[in-house]
Amino acid sequence: MRILLTNDDGINARGLKLLEAVARKLSDDVWIVAPTEEQSGAGHSLTLTTPVRLRRHDDRRFSVTGTPTDAVMLALAHIMKDSPPDLIMSGINRGANLAEDVTYSGTVSAAMEGALAGVRSIALSQAYSREGMGDTVPFAAAEAWAERVLAPLLELETEPKTLINVNFPAMRPEDVKGIRVCRQGIRDYGRLRIVERTDPRGYGYYWFGLGPMVETPGHSTDLEAVADGYVSVTPLHLDLTHDASLAALHDRFAEKV
């Protein structure tokens, strides 16, 4: 099995090193194409107005001066065009990618790009608490549980244009309760926290904070699964059409003709 690894935390990120160690337990044919610098929050963005530069570190390790999407596109269309991967894994991200975070996440978007290209793709992220910030984020749960999550996923026949989003809870491996398959959640961003401050030069700036979690009946979403101490596994698909609205829209425009 040929595996391509990428991320949005950059080529030197600790989580990518961990993912490489996990990948090498699954295959001896592991390639890495990742952004040169951190691209958190880049979403599914593509660099169009500036050149993207590629650096080769060794035969199967490359860095890209662009977004996670750029990295996957260069991997599939250039670096590995004659030997495409069987699997793309993106991560392991420093911080969870839950609920509507998936639309902002470079980690998840790299897996989206793989899914668009018809390659089985999985995004993996490690949640952290306020006690574990920056470079001190503990990846112990991901390290202990990643292979246990991936093994069943690799045996699964996935639908076209879909990907799997995996999140590990912020706790010791022995405290993780198990694996929960669940829906994508949603937060209440109507109460988004915006903190306004002033820098030392007297200019204003803003910090954005996440809104509170909205609980669902049966604790059925990825937000609640991770909060409850489970590894969340969520299937995502790239067709954003809202089927329930199609008939109403057809009727509305038919009236205008």
82 marked among binding-site residues: no
What is Dmax (Cα atoms) for the chain?
64
Distance spanning both ends of the chain, measured CA to CA:
55
3-state per-residue secondary structure call for 82-119: CCCCCEEEEEEEECCCCCCHHHHCHHHHHHHHHHHCCC
93 marked among binding-site residues: yes
Residue that is written with structure tokens 């700036």 in the block = 205
63 marked among binding-site residues: no
Distance CA 207, CA 197 (A): 8
Angle at 124 between CA 41 and CA 16, to 5 degrees: 80
Overall size of the chain counted in residues: 257
Secondary structure (3-state) at 52: coil
Other CB atoms within a 10 A radius of the CB of residue 153 amount to 15
Residue 196 C-alpha from the chain's centroid? 29
8 marked among binding-site residues: yes
The verdict on whether omega for the bond into residue 92 sits within 30 degrees of 0, i.e. cis, is yes
Name the amino acid, one letter, at 46: L
**Is 87 in contact with 3 (CB distance < 8 Å)?**
yes
Residue 46, token pair as written in the block: 């593509």
* Sequence ranges of the binding site for a divalent metal cation: 8-9, 40, 93
* Sequence ranges of the binding site: 8-9, 40, 93
